[in-house]
Amino acid sequence: MSKPKIAMIGAGSLIFCKTLVMDILATEALAGSEIRLMNRTRPKLAKMEAFVKKVIKENKLPATVTATLDRREALDGADYVINMIQIGGVEAFRMDYEIPLKYGVDQCIADSIGPGGIFRALRTIPVLADMAADMNELCPDAILLNYANPMGANCSALGSVADVQFIGLCHGVQTTLDLISRYVNVPKDQVDYVCAGINHMAWFLSLRDKRDGRDLYPILKRNIEKPEYYVNEKVRCEVMRHFGYFMTESTGHLSEYIPWFRSSKRALETYCDQPDFGGASGAYYHYCNMLAEKYKKVDYLATESPRITGRSVEYCSYILEAAETDRPFRLNGNVRNDGYITNLPQGCCVEVPVYVDSQGLHPVTIGELPVQCAALNQSNVTVQELAVEAALTGDPEYAMQAVAMDPLTSAVCTLKEIRDMTGEMLEAQRKWLPEFKGAKLTPRPMVQVTKNTVGVDVPLDPALAIANRFGELAK
């Protein structure tokens, strides 16, 4: 039996790391794995190591586990690297949400796009670049599985700096299929689909019933016109009504990716009034902060059973199993766009079908997206690419320009407000942004113009003079 070496970076993420470890140890082909837990601080790491040892002993598995604060030690000779880092933790996350809110930018999740997502990228991408460099040296044949957000920007950066195979993983497709299954009344495993686009904005391009080949889109489109269906996913249903295709992200997240649903009180009250994660301001930050406060008092892992009962829907263990057994597995994953979607930029991050086997990752070529779908994706890709440029160069102007191009922010703020907000966030998060090395955003105060200001007399462009003349005639 093979003994795959699995490095888990960011193993202090107790809930998520625990889920992935349990999935791995529940998989027969991976039951003998050498699991290497790595975190930057010891307390959570020690708890995770103790729990994994308990799981191995309780279930009589041949796996082993070690823990280290040294990333290079964890990576040395690894077959798989699973990344779960969150630079700055809840403290930085609070700033990602609260500072933009002062300027009128109301984010629901704030971890993938918008000012919050951009600054999470600025904190994370330099660390990912260092990790990729270590992998290129220490485990060049390993596959990197990235779970860290912002997925699009992070994977776009990896595509420009990493020589190793990598894939970004999200559960948006699986959870959306659960919803679609209910809306069209077809079992989830009987829905044949093609889904592609970018992370959190991938489009279900086709939906068919495997049993008889019928097109399920007419049923979905009819049902979302019924209030009892529409009310559950107002934003996602509204986008399909106007753009023609259903997306992989829920109302709360999708509402902050586009300019139409959170840029005014009227829009928020109309589309984002659902409880929980239906679109409430700061929903995800408040949830994460609640968990952080709770687990300061309660040891989460002490209350969890070490008994293995099955696997979650997360893709990780299935990818590793396919690579180890050569039994192909299909998923939707985030990869560098090497011609897979032809009307999105080469080299950006796209989310497309991917097959995995013992030879590695095999993304599927989709070709062109419907033009309106590509246009909406491009509005986010532009932000991601500017954020990557800012993170890799440490240039605060690129950071400001990324925020300025964000669809929601640009619908709410002036350029001066965006510059002021970006500057405030840079100063507040200095300790997590060493790449900026004290660089500051140059202020651009308003030019004062009064009724007594005299304009400079400049020669008028001939074409403009003609246009003005026709304007005068029209009067």
What string of H, E and C letters represents the secondary structure of the chain? CCCCEEEEECCCCHHHHHHHHHHHHCCHHHCCCEEEEECCCHHHHHHHHHHHHHHHHHCCCCCEEEEECCHHHHHCCCCEEEECCCCCHHHHHHHHHHHHHHCCCCCCCCCCCHHHHHHHHHHHHHHHHHHHHHHHHHCCCCEEEECCCCHHHHHHHHHHHCCCEEEECCCHHHHHHHHHHHHHCCCHHHEEEEEEEECCEEEEEEEEECCCCCECHHHHHHHCCCHHHHHHHHHHHHHHHHHCCEECCCHHHHCCCCCCCCCCHHHHHHHCCCCCCCCCCCHHHHHHHHHHHHHHHCCHHHHCCCCCCCCCCCCHHHHHHHHHHCCCEEEEEEEECCCCECCCCCCCEEEEEEEEECCEEEECCCECCCHHHHHHHHHHHHHHHHHHHHHHHCCHHHHHHHHHHCHHHHHHCCHHHHHHHHHHHHHHCHHHCHHHCCCCCCCCCCCCCCCCCCCCCCCCCHHHHHHHHHHHHHC
- Distance (Å, whole) CA 174 – CA 193: 11
At a CB cut-off of 8 Å and minimum separation 6, what does 391 contact?
121, 122, 124, 125, 126, 153, 157, 435
- Distance (Å, rounded) from C-alpha 368 to C-alpha 382? 18
Per-residue pLDDT band at 188 (split at 50, 70, 90): very high
Q: Is 59 labelled as part of a ligand binding site?
A: no
> What's the mean pLDDT when you consider all of the chain?
94
Instruction: Please check the confidence at residue 467 and state whether its pLDDT lies above 70.
Output: no
Q: Find the range with the poorest average confidence among 2-6, 103-107, 183-187.
A: 2-6
pLDDT band at 192; cut points 50, 70, 90: very high
What domains lie within the chain, and their CATH numbers? Answer: 90-111+170-281+314-434 (3.90.110.10)
Residues 6 or more apart whose CB falls under 8 angstroms from that of 107 comprise 96, 97, 100, 101, 114, 115, 116, 256, 262, 281, 282, 408
Q: Which residues of 408-439 are buried (b: 16+ CB within 10 A; e: fewer)?
A: bbbbbbeeebbbbbbbbbbebbeebbebbeee
Band (7; pLDDT cuts 50, 70, 90): very high
Q: C-alpha angle 118/380/418, rounded to 5°?
A: 50
Residue 237 labeled ligand binder: no
Indicate whether 275 pLDDT > 70: no
Residue 170 among known ligand-binding residues:
yes
Q: What's the pLDDT score for residue 279?
A: 87
* Residue 457: per-residue pLDDT: 79
pLDDT band of residue 1 (cuts 50, 70, 90) is low
Under 8 Å between Cβ of 426 and 440 = yes
Confidence of residue 282 (pLDDT cuts 50, 70, 90): very high
CA 62 to chain centre: 35
Q: Is the dihedral of CA 273, 277, 279, 282 positive or negative?
A: positive
Backbone conformation region of residue 228, classed left if phi is above 0, alpha if psi is from -120 to 50, else beta: alpha
Report pLDDT for 468: 66
Residue 14 burial (10 A CB sphere; 0-12, 13-18, 19+): buried
Q: Provide, rounded to the nearest whole percent, the portion of the chain with pLDDT above 70.
A: 96
Residue 475's pLDDT band (boundaries 50, 70, 90)? low
Q: What is the spatial distance between Cα 369 and Cα 377, in angstroms, rounded to a whole number?
A: 10
Residues 6+ apart with CB under 8 A from 62: 1, 31, 32
As a whole number, mean pLDDT of residues 333-361 equals: 98
Check if the beta carbon of residue 23 is closer than 8 Å to that of residue 169.
Answer: no
Reply yes or no on whether the pLDDT at 471 is more than 80: no
Q: Is the pLDDT of residue 2 over 80?
A: no
The CA distance from 471 to 400, in Å, is: 38
Question: Does the annotation mark 362 as catalytic?
Answer: no
Cross-strand bridge partners of residue 256:
none
pLDDT at 204 over 90: yes
How far CA 295 is from CA of 91, 148, 302, in Å, comes to: 15, 21, 11
- pLDDT single digits (tens) 365-390: 999 999 999 999 999 999 999 999 99
Buried b (16+ CB within 10 A) or exposed e, 82-98: bbbbbbbeeebbbbbbe
Rounded to two decimals, the pTM is 0.94
Least confident of 221-230, 423-432, 443-452: 443-452
pLDDT higher than 90, residue 236: yes
Q: Which of 183, 245, 257, 285 is catalytic?
A: 257
Q: Which two tokens stand for residue 285?
A: 């930050």
Give the pLDDT of residue 344.
Answer: 98
Q: Which of 241-250, 350-359, 436-445 shows the lowest per-residue confidence on average (mean pLDDT)?
A: 436-445
